[in-house]
Amino acid sequence: MTKDEFQALFEQVIEETIQMAEEYHQLTLPRNVRIRLLQKGGAARVVLFDIENALERLYFDETHFHWVMDVGVKGYHLSNDYTMLLIIPSGHDPGPLESTWNYCSGQGPFKKLVFMDLDVLDED
């Protein structure tokens, strides 16, 4: 999967995940997205990325991918008009696309989640 294909899938999964959260929580979420990545051995501090910067950290190359990446809406910030997604890549060594989660055919490593509680954010 090329980087462009990965980006298109990533953006599709983000939109579908937001829609799932909206349906579950019966609210409308902003489409301006910030992403919190939890990575193996990562620092405890919270860093929010835009889609492009998160993509740079999640995509390896055309033949190596995380096995699974949990993706869910964690909260939203109404005054700054953004939705925060939490993405948790597996700690496994990257492998071929055929070894990824791909639960719904064509989803690659992405596993969409709906969190029962959303954080209403008031600080950046």
Q: For residue range 80-122, what is the model confidence (pLDDT) as tens digits?
A: 899 999 999 988 899 999 999 887 778 899 999 999 999 998 7
Query: Per residue in 47-68, pLDDT tens?
Result: 789 999 999 999 999 999 999 9
Residue 18 lies in a domain: yes
Res 33 pLDDT > 70: yes
Q: What is the spatial distance between Cα 80 and Cα 76, in angstroms, rounded to a whole number?
A: 9
Res 21 pLDDT > 60: yes
Torsion region of 102: left, alpha or beta (phi above 0 gives left; psi -120 to 50 gives alpha): left
Q: How many C-beta atoms lie closer than 10 Å to residue 90's C-beta?
A: 18
Q: What is the pTM of this model?
A: 0.90
- Supply 23's token pair: 């349906």
Residue 124 lies in a domain: no
Domain coverage including residue 40: 3-116
Res 42 pLDDT > 70: no
Residue 123 lies in a domain: no
Residue whose tokens read 């709906």: 114
pLDDT of residue 39: 72
Q: Report how many domains make up the chain.
A: 1
pLDDT of residue 106: 85
pLDDT of residue 69: 95
Q: What is the spatial distance between Cα 37 and Cα 55, in angstroms, rounded to a whole number?
A: 11
pLDDT of residue 40: 66
The count of C-alpha atoms lying within 13 angstroms of the C-alpha of 80, restricted to the half-sphere facing its C-beta, is 13
pLDDT of residue 121: 81
Q: What is the spatial distance between Cα 27 and Cα 43, in angstroms, rounded to a whole number?
A: 32
Q: What is the spatial distance between Cα 26 and Cα 43, in angstroms, rounded to a whole number?
A: 34
* Rounded (to 5) percent helix, strand, coil in the chain: 25, 25, 45
Residue 77 lies in a domain: yes
Residue 122 lies in a domain: no
Using 50, 70 and 90 to split pLDDT, how confident is the model at 46?
Answer: low
Q: Which residue has the higher pLDDT, 46 or 35?
A: 35
